[in-house]
């Protein structure tokens, strides 16, 4: 393959390539990554402070939990490549997908029995919503077609997931009249250790009771709200949701695309509460960050309900559904995770982040510092100067990607103590600069 010089690459990038949430042409020059290994990204050119290697504080947006170029995961992809990289899933099946689906059923809460393999998190959320709406349609209640969520959430960028993202995030304003009108309760009170606020619970119930006749499901991110603002709430609110959904005949969807596979300190955040949703979405870390894959799991009641309908099938089938390469690496990643004492690693990172980020409380302009599992957040009282904060982190040898008023990290679980300390120092430096 011909190598492009960094200058040529960047000028082509600027002219032709959209980046996430970016303008066209691009206005901020991205760092060019040449390769990645362990927890380090190797850049094509030196950046701030002359660094060419940055410790990854982001796990490539929650996904690369085992770091990069892990020999076991590399081998799983190579091995699968020697058999087939892809075959269609309509009318055909294969061992990597069947093994993965069975494994997901085994490790998620017991009522979840059926797996739809999707090709991205947003699509898994679309499928979860379709499952819920179709369940009610098939069981003679088509009017139950709205969703209820709480504020501060994020569920993806395609249209139905966007409709349940926090309405103040900008997208609702842009798409008023286009997005389906969903219902929003206030954000649950902050704090993993907080006890249930009875007034919040009764207001939530009042809203749900008033709309139960038209509600298909409640959808939330359990315990950790990610891209909507990096807030943590008590598992007591998940128990509240389970109870109210059962009482008022509404389905419950947990979007564990960010929290799944250990990130919050439990394998799935639902376990903190000891409850099971009717539908669970998984993605991101499912393949250890190697390939794009996600899943929507549901109970037998939902699957049976759909099967009783006039159209007894779930009408969804992406071209790359059940991609064998992605399934093979997902199987290897889950084996790798569960084959080690992953709780100890997540706890170790949590302790390192608490130690390293606590001093940020004294930085002027810092509003809050919080840590849950292998997630550390410094919230400012003003919007982050993203360029200044990113460069300050890079000078410390760390890759961070702040947004809104948040400088945050969720390192790969293999990050050693010294690098966790370095990441925390970089978050603090970014908070000073940003």
Annotated binding-site residue numbers for pyridoxal 5'-phosphate: 121-122, 255, 318-319
Q: Is 422 in the site for ligand PLP (CB under 6 A)?
A: no
Contact with ligand PLP (CB under 6 A): which of 156, 235, 352, 356? 156
C-alpha 306/C-alpha 301 separation (Å) is 9
Distances (CA, A) of 196 to 146, 183, 187, 192: 26, 21, 13, 10
- Report the site for ligand PLP in 112-151 (rule: CB under 6 A): 120-122, 125
User: Which residue in 135, 154, 290, 413 is the catalytic one?
Assistant: 154
For residues 237 and 188, is the Cβ–Cβ distance under 8 A? yes
- Report the site for ligand PLP in 260-289 (rule: CB under 6 A): 283
Q: Is 405 in the site for ligand PLP (CB under 6 A)?
A: no
Q: Is 428 in the site for ligand PLP (CB under 6 A)?
A: no
Contact with ligand PLP (CB under 6 A): which of 56, 126, 166, 221? 221
Of 162, 168, 284, 152, the C-alpha closest to 230 is 152
C-alpha 177/C-alpha 174 separation (Å) is 9
The residue among 289 and 305 lying less far from ligand PLP, judged by its C-beta, is 289
HSE of 434 in the Cβ direction (CA atoms, 13 Å)? Answer: 33
Q: Is 154 in the site for ligand PLP (CB under 6 A)?
A: yes
Distances (CA, A) of 263 to 59, 130, 151: 11, 27, 22
User: Which residue in 166, 255, 278, 419 is the catalytic one?
Assistant: 255
> Using CB atoms, what's the residue nearest to ligand PLP?
121
21 is catalytic: yes
**Residues comprising the binding site for substrate?**
61, 154, 284, 317, 401
Q: Provide CB contacts within 8 A for 341, sequence distance 6+.
A: none
The residue among 121 and 262 lying less far from ligand PLP, judged by its C-beta, is 121
CB of 4 to ligand PLP, least distance (A): 27
- Report the site for ligand PLP in 318-337 (rule: CB under 6 A): none
- Helix intervals (H) in 139-235: 159-163, 171-174, 198-211
CB of 397 to ligand PLP, least distance (A): 26
Torsion of CA 311, 316, 317, 319, to 10 degrees: 140
- Residues composing the chain: 434
Contact with ligand PLP (CB under 6 A): which of 66, 94, 114, 155? 155
- Report the site for ligand PLP in 6-45 (rule: CB under 6 A): none
Contact with ligand PLP (CB under 6 A): which of 47, 227, 334, 337? 227
User: Which residue in 56, 284, 405, 413 is the catalytic one?
Assistant: 284
Q: Is 257 in the site for ligand PLP (CB under 6 A)?
A: yes
Q: Is the dihedral of CA 14, 17, 22, 25 positive or negative?
A: positive
Element (H, E) at 43: strand 40-47
For residues 146 and 216, is the Cβ–Cβ distance under 8 A? yes
- Helix intervals (H) in 223-299: 236-248, 270-273
Q: Is 60 in the site for ligand PLP (CB under 6 A)?
A: no
CB of 208 to ligand PLP, least distance (A): 22
Q: Is 376 in the site for ligand PLP (CB under 6 A)?
A: no
The residue among 43 and 224 lying less far from ligand PLP, judged by its C-beta, is 224
- Helix intervals (H) in 221-367: 236-248, 270-273, 300-307, 324-338, 342-357
**Residues comprising the binding site?**
61, 121-122, 154, 255, 284, 317-319, 401
The residue among 154 and 305 lying less far from ligand PLP, judged by its C-beta, is 154
The residue among 283 and 305 lying less far from ligand PLP, judged by its C-beta, is 283
For residues 65 and 418, is the Cβ–Cβ distance under 8 A? no
Q: Provide CB contacts within 8 A for 430, sequence distance 6+.
A: 378, 384, 389, 390, 392, 393, 400, 402, 407
Total residues contacting ligand PLP (rule CB under 6 A)? 14
Q: Is 229 in the site for ligand PLP (CB under 6 A)?
A: no
CB of 404 to ligand PLP, least distance (A): 14
247 is catalytic: no
* Partners of residue 253 on adjacent β-strands: 219, 279
C-alpha 43/C-alpha 31 separation (Å) is 7
154 is catalytic: yes
Of 178, 179, 181, 264, the C-alpha closest to 221 is 264
CB of 318 to ligand PLP, least distance (A): 12
Chain positions contacting ligand PLP, by CB under 6 A: 120-122, 125, 154-156, 221, 226-227, 255, 257-258, 283
The residues annotated as belonging to the active site are 21, 154, 255, 284
């Amino acid at each position: 393959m011909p190598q492009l010089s960094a200058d040529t690459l960047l000028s082509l990038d600027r002219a032709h390539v959209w980046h996430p949430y970016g303008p066209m042409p691009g206005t901020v020059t991205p760092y060019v990554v040449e390769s990645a290994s362990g927890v380090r990204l190797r850049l094509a050119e030196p950046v701030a402070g002359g660094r060419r290697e940055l410790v990854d504080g982001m796990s490539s947006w929650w996904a690369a939990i085992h770091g990069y170029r892990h020999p076991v995961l590399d081998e799983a992809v190579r091995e699968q490549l020697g058999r087939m990289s892809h075959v269609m899933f309509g009318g055909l099946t294969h061992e990597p997908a069947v093994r993965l689906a069975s494994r997901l059923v085994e490790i998620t809460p017991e009522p979840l029995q059926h797996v739809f393999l999707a090709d991205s998190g947003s699509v898994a959320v679309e499928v979860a919503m379709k499952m819920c709406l179709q369940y009610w349609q098939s069981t003679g209640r088509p009017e139950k077609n709205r969703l209820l969520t709480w504020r501060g959430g994020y569920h993806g960028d395609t249209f139905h997931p966007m409709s349940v993202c926090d309405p103040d995030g900008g997208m609702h304003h842009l798409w008023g009249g286009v997005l389906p009108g969903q219902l929003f309760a206030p954000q649950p009170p902050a704090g993993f250790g907080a006890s249930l606020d009875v007034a919040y619970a009764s207001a939530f119930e009042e809203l749900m009771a008033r709309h139960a006749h038209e509600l298909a499901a409640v959808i939330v991110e359990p315990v950790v709200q990610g891209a909507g603002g990096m807030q943590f709430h008590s598992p007591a609110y998940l128990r509240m949701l389970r109870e109210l959904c059962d009482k008022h005949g509404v389905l419950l969807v947990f979007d564990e695309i960010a929290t799944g596979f250990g990130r919050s300190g439990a394998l799935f955040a639902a376990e903190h509460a000891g409850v099971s949703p009717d539908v669970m979405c998984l993605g991101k870390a499912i393949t250890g960050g190697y390939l794009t894959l996600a899943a929507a799991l549901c109970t037998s009641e939902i699957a049976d309900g759909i099967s009783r309908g006039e159209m007894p099938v779930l009408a969804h089938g992406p071209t790359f559904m059940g991609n064998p390469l992605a399934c093979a690496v997902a199987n290897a990643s889950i084996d790798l995770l569960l084959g080690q004492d992953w709780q100890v690693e997540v706890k170790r990172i949590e302790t390192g982040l608490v130690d390293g980020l606590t001093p940020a409380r004294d930085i002027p302009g810092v509003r809050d510092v919080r840590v849950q599992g292998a997630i550390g957040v410094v919230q400012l009282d003003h919007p982050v100067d993203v360029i200044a904060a990113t460069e300050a982190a890079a000078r410390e040898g760390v890759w961070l990607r702040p947004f809104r008023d948040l400088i945050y990290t969720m390192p790969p679980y293999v990050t050693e103590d010294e690098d966790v300390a370095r990441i925390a120092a970089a978050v603090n430096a970014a908070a000073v600069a940003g």
